[in-house]
Amino acid sequence: LAAREEALQQEKSDAQYLTEANMVQILLDIFGAATDTSLGELQWLCLTMTRKPEIQARIKREIEYHLGQTPPTLQDREKLPYTVACLYETLRFYPILPMGFPHNTSCDTHAGGKFIPKDTGVFYNIHAVNHDPALWKDPDVFRPERFLDFATGKLNLEGLPPLLTFGLGPRTCPGEKLGHVNMFYVLVRLMQRVSCS
């Protein structure tokens, strides 16, 4: 609301959009987007754990050993590398959207040997990239270990292709970090209390 007052004082035309109702709607949009997408990813992981109970058992063992029933903190992510790897693999295996949001090229360019003129609409297939055998070994196998260092067992994203689930570059999803944190907290608390079967 302070921004609205400032815009009115400066006689800016966009002040009309800085209403309390619009700001509440924007906050609800952000909250809804973060909640829906995180919930969807966790539902996919729970389904996977019903089909592969060994994954659930390993997550539960890791959480019990390091946290017991203590609620997780952000710092606990380092103590739970397999749990975090399962979240990354879920994001890779079951992208929230199969296709990325459209973008326009800002200049004439070439991609894959094809000429693409300036202002051409471009879509990217998130599912195809996240399941590309040229990028991922056994892409159609749900294998969280691909995100772990073989020698140390710690989370290791070095040398892996980027996950396109949240987009890429300057227009990546602004809620990516919140999504990762949300899913981590909810998954840990869920596994401390229930089993998926």
pTM for the structure as a whole = 0.82
Determine the Cα–Cα distance for residues 133 and 99; give it in Å rounded to an integer: 18
CATH of the domain at 124: 1.10.630.10
Q: In this structure, are residues 86 and 156 in contact, taking their beta carbons and an 8 Å threshold?
A: no
Is 107 labeled as ligand-binding?
Answer: no
User: Could you tell me the residue range of the domain that residue 125 belongs to?
Assistant: 2-193
Domains contained in the chain, number: 1
Give bridge partners of residue 99 from the DSSP assignment.
125
Per residue in 74-99, pLDDT (tens digit) is: 999 999 999 999 999 999 999 988 88
Per residue in 98-119, pLDDT (tens digit) is: 888 888 889 999 988 999 999 9
